[in-house]
């Protein structure tokens, strides 16, 4: 029970910290956010304007299979974790964006009140879901939050609360086998690559 409560507190903290920081533009990682606008070419065909463009090659993804039963079991669990936590990460990000918009231009007192409302709403809407996550689910959730916001919980803590507090929370997280410094980098981390593939398959409706 204690580890689930700690995971929940870190989850709320990771969501609240960006809202506490000075206004900034939050962007997704390269290749994972919205693509740059494409200039469309056109032709006049029988008096009508027909627009056309060249589509990039699309990699058709499928769930991975492993000859080793334990590897397959771990991968299947990862698929379930991503399926469970991706909607949660994205809904939480929407709430974060909304409250960041509300706090634009607010003074310190009003921001504090807005943050309290945000915390109450996060607890009401996501508290039960997060408390029911396993430690592995929580680790995947932190990866997905970093994927959506391009910020780790540790970097946000350090910027806002200083190195000592960030270090303290990191030590506490480590005791539950969680890592606030964990970032999302599918280009160099095979585990993150699996997560990215699963996310893309979920988004495309393939699984």
pLDDT for position 138: 81
* DSSP strand pairing (48-52 vs 41-45): antiparallel
Please check whether residue 150 is in contact with residue 29, taking contact to mean a CB–CB distance below 8 angstroms.
yes
User: Can you give the residue ranges of every domain in the chain?
Assistant: 2-22+73-204
| Cα 68 to Cα 164: distance, rounded to the nearest angstrom | 43
DSSP codes joined into one string, 93-132: HHHHHHHHHHHTT--HHHHHHHHHHHHHHHHHHHHHHHHT
Residue 52 host element (H or E): strand 48-52
pLDDT tens per residue, range 70-115: 999 999 999 999 999 999 888 877 876 787 788 788 887 887 787 7
Length of the chain: 207
| Cα 89 to Cα 80: distance, rounded to the nearest angstrom | 14
pLDDT for position 148: 82
pLDDT for position 78: 97
Residue 204: name the closest of 62, 5, 22 by CA.
62
Q: Which residues of the chain have pLDDT under 50?
A: 1-8, 16-28, 30-31, 33-38
| Model pTM above 0.85 | no
pLDDT for position 189: 94
């Amino acid at each position: 029970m204690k580890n689930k409560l700690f995971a929940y507190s870190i989850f709320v903290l990771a969501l609240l910290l960006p809202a506490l920081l000075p206004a900034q533009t939050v962007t997704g990682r390269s290749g994972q956010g919205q693509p740059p606008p494409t200039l469309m070419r056109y032709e006049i065909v029988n008096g009508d304007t027909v627009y056309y463009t060249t589509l990039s090659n699309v990699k058709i993804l499928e769930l991975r299979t492993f000859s080793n039963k334990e590897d397959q079991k771990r991968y299947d669990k990862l698929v379930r974790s991503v399926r469970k936590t991706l909607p949660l990460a994205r809904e939480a990000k929407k709430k974060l964006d909304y409250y960041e918009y509300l706090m634009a231009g607010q003074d310190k007192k009003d921001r504090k009140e807005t943050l309290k409302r945000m915390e109450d709403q996060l607890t009401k809407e996501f508290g039960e879901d997060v408390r029911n996550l396993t430690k592995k689910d929580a680790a995947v959730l932190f990866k997905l939050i970093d994927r959506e916001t391009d910020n780790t919980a540790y970097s946000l803590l350090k910027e806002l609360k200083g190195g000592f507090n960030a270090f303290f929370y990191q030590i506490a997280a480590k005791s539950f086998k969680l890592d606030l410094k964990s970032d999302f980098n599918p280009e160099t981390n095979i585990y993150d690559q699996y997560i990215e593939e699963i996310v893309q398959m979920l988004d495309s409706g393939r699984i």
